[in-house]
A and B are shown apart, each in its own frame.
Chain A
């Protein structure tokens, strides 16, 4: 159609190289970056304490995202599927721990069995039990989902599996919202252990209950420490599993080339199931920690953290485990800074803006390797 007229005026040979216009886009990006740096710098100089507080809250968010992002990145790395239901597995983890704590008082079991134990040990063992329970339930659920919904579609077009994943995600959200399953309402979450808050001003002090920390101090809680610890631990375990064990080797081989891996005698189906299981376990742990940190749960809790964790995984380079970790931390900071300095509702917008910008500038993400051409 218009091509004909076009070719008359400017044939392909006489067209000038468009790369010459690259400076416009680069200049635009540079301006955006400069503006962001300027805004952040000005706020840092104006009120360094507030800035530090925002960074701390961003850390908390980022480490939770890291736990979810690991599942996304591993599953996508192996079966090339955006597992939409992953965020809902995260939600189920939170709900399981809620029922374990609020209904069944599972976190008190050591005190009931061994009455002589000191309170600290009881809480530690009890909380760990609750987390372990959530992780196990999530693992079983994810493996079931994989077997029932995804496995039959492994040879189908990828988009069919994606739609199925969306369907599973919907099912979990709204099935959970039925009254006899979970609840359609927001539920106040009961923590297995009490929050202890410290503030940093001339050294680290504990905030006495019922009193506000002194002005000009940065506060953090034991939950933050716990989240960071758990996240780093999980990261270490995963690195070990993927790089030091036979199963990890099988996972890497399957991610690299499924057919060849199968020919080498690797049970690909089992490896894929295992990947789903391990991702779901971490998501379950993340769900418990998220619920403890933000203390309110409902059945659509997992959607946005899930999407943002996926964005974090893409940002770090999908398929790369350290990448997911770094991407999640960046996402957490970006979100916290947006909430602090732009406006709270735009926190969701910034995640997707970052996604688009990163993919335009570096399509493989920060740690990603250039993808091989595959059909």
Chain B
């Protein structure tokens, strides 16, 4: 037995520290004073940033391995929060988040990859396509509201045609504008204004948002027909979605017209733009959006769909629309997570997005507790640091079959959890910021004696 005890102790310490960090972050975000809130977030960011830069001896306090774990935990938090919104809060058993994660990763990577190779078409086509497609979907959605009970297939057909038109227009637009922008990139010797690092940062943020929006758009088109299927079939269909997306990734240079993605060999040369700032920024953004959504009237409607569809319908809640809303928002989070991941790792291979790996967010959500945002965030960090940081290293010290043993232990843990504590480790406990705002439990001003109308 050559297990390194010092390493073991250190990793356990790290896991505790990370969980304490998450708790502190959520606690400080939940303070009522805005100043404290902002200062706390900045401090939380700064602590890690300092640990990244200040060197003790030769290496910084947080080495590259730990930073990698932190970034992965941030990404996983985004994906898992999205899944928790869909599955935990809305009750739709989705196995497709990994597919949207992959779509986000590849989209964002393609945009920045093309940009650093002096090709603006990635950004232009994706940006215009997403904007135009979103606009069309919004307009059609408004138009279809004039009708009662439009058949899903008809709505889907209309949306599909409009999205195809938007895509074609975006491609045309991008190709038309590229010659005008090309000179601004300059040459390798004399980089133009568009090749400057500052612009690249902006492009990265845009790419991440576009990737999220693109994933959301795909999830809208996919979810519209599929969400009507009912829970089990929905699960299978979304699993199929992940498999199909993975197949397309493997053949991205043959079936899809993206030679730079290099199919099954994996996409290399993605600029590594994810810094701790961006990972932290996007994670906090996702947490804030998620929390505010869940405790809004929309969130209550989403929750009511999970509790009882029939009762929700009777209260005048458009069940189908709220299912779709949760699915789209959750996929948006997954897409952003994918973008952050792609620019952290710098290399995308279809194997990363295989559906077997895609069960990880589900396991995290189940471990953390369905419908518990805190549980998801904590479980994401704990999961990554425990399994990637501790178990993988320990097992690889023990023998050569490490990856396989990990996958033998996951399902056993999952089984034990399901049999012993099906509500997840944290149940429905929420910490600090993620706790329900107190204003909800206060009695409403007595405007009428009738009970308050259902939030909508």
Report which A residues bind B (CB closer than 8 A): 1, 3, 6, 10, 12, 15-29, 80, 82, 149, 152-153, 156-160, 162-164, 166-171, 173-175, 177-179, 184, 300, 303-304, 307, 310-311, 314, 343, 345-346, 348-349, 351-352, 355-356, 359-361, 363
A162-B93 in contact (CB<8A): yes
Residue pairs across A and B with CB atoms within 8 Å: the count is: 180
In the complex, chain A residues whose CB is within 8 Å of the CB of B156: 25, 28
Is B28 an interface residue, CB under 8 A from the partner?
no
B298 interface hit (Cβ, 8 Å):
yes
Closest 7 CB pairs of A and B: A352-B240, A25-B153, A18-B150, A174-B407, A18-B147, A25-B154, A167-B411
Q: Is the CB of B147 within 8 A of A167?
A: no
Interchain CB contact under 8 A, B232 and A82: yes
Q: Which residues of B contact A (CB under 8 A)?
A: 93, 144-158, 160, 225-226, 228-233, 235-237, 239-241, 243-244, 247, 250-251, 255, 297-298, 318, 356, 359, 362, 366, 401, 404-405, 407-408, 410-412, 414-415, 418-419, 422, 456
Q: Across the interface, do B359 and A170 meet the contact criterion of CB distance under 8 Å?
A: yes
Instruction: Identify the interface centre among B144, B151, B233, B418: most chain A CB within 10 Å of its CB.
Output: B418
Let me know if B418 and A170 touch, CB within 8 A.
no
Residues in B whose Cβ lies below 8 Å from that of A346: 247, 255
A23 to B160, CA, bound (A): 15
Which residues of the other chain, A, contact B226 by a CB distance below 8 angstroms?
Answer: 356
| B414 surroundings in chain A (CB, below 8 A) | 163-164, 166-167, 170
20 additional contacts (CB under 8 A) given A19-B151, A310-B236: A1-B298, A3-B456, A15-B145, A15-B146, A15-B148, A17-B148, A18-B150, A22-B154, A24-B154, A82-B236, A149-B415, A157-B422, A158-B232, A166-B411, A166-B414, A178-B405, A184-B401, A345-B255, A349-B244, A356-B226
Q: Is the interface of A mostly helix, strand, loop or mixed?
A: helix
Are A307 and B228 CB-contacts (below 8 A) given A15-B147, A16-B147, A175-B408? no
Contact of B235 (CB < 8 Å), options: A23, A162, A348:
A162
| Chain B min CB distance to A17 (Å) | 6
**B411 close to A17 (CB less than 8 A):** no
CB of B232 within 8 A of CB of A162, answer yes
Q: Compute how far the CA of A167 lies from the CA of B359 in the bound complex, rounded to whole angstroms.
A: 10
29 residue pairs A–B, Cβ–Cβ below 8 Å: A1-B297, A16-B148, A18-B144, A20-B147, A27-B157, A28-B156, A153-B422, A158-B232, A160-B418, A162-B235, A166-B414, A168-B411, A170-B356, A170-B410, A170-B411, A171-B411, A171-B412, A174-B408, A343-B255, A345-B255, A346-B247, A349-B240, A352-B243, A352-B244, A355-B233, A360-B153, A360-B225, A360-B228, A363-B229
Chain A residue numbers with a CB within 8 Å of B405 are 178
Cβ contacts under 8 Å, A156 to chain B: 418, 422
Q: Is the CB of A345 within 8 A of B243?
A: no
Query: In this complex, what residue of A is CB-closest to B247?
Result: A345
What is the CA–CA distance of A348 and B150 in the complex, to the nearest angstrom?
Answer: 30
Query: Which of chain A's residues has its CB closest to B405's CB?
Result: A178
In-complex Cβ contact of B418 among A27, A167, A171 (8 A): A167
Given contact pairs A19-B149, A160-B422, A356-B225, A167 touches B247 in the complex (Cβ within 8 A): no
Cβ contact of A21, chosen from B150, B318, B362, cutoff 8 A: B150
- A310 to B229 Cα, complex, angstroms: 15
Measured in the bound complex, the distance between the Cα atoms of B115 and A115 in whole Å is: 75
CA distance A152 to B229 in the complex (A): 28
Among the listed A24, A80, A168, A311, which residue makes an inter-chain contact with B415, where contact means beta carbons less than 8 Å apart? A168
Closest residue on chain A to residue B416 by CB atoms: A167
Closest CB of chain B to A299's CB: distance in Å? 9
Q: Can you name the residue of chain B whose Cβ is closest to the Cβ of A22?
A: B151
List residues of chain A with CB within 8 A of the CB of B243: 304, 307, 348-349, 352
- Docked Cα-Cα span, A346 to B456, in Å, equals 42
Contact A18 B411 (CB under 8 A): no
Nearest B residue to A180 by beta-carbon distance? Answer: B401
Within the complex, what minimum Cβ distance (angstroms) separates B361 from chain A?
13
**Candidate in B150, B155, B362, B401 with the most chain A CB atoms within 10 angstroms:** B150
B196 to chain A, nearest CB (A): 40
Assess the A10–B415 pair: CB atoms within 8 A: no
Chain B positions within 8 Å of A359 at CB level: 229, 233, 237
The complex places the Cα of A178 from the Cα of B240 at a distance, in Å, of 27
Closest residue of A by beta carbon distance from B355 = A303
Residues of B near A6 (CB, < 8 A) are 145
- The one of A21, A169, A179, A363 that contacts B154, using a Cβ cutoff of 8 Å: A21
Q: Whose C-beta in chain B lies nearest to the C-beta of A153?
A: B418
Asked if A164 contacts B418 (CB within 8 A), the reply is: yes
Of A21, A179, A356, the residue contacting B401 (CB under 8 A) is A179
Q: Which single residue of chain B is at the shortest CB-CB distance from A349?
A: B244
Q: Are B244 and A348 in touch, CB under 8 angstroms?
A: yes
Given contacts A162-B232, A162-B235, A356-B225, contact A21 B151 (CB under 8 A): yes
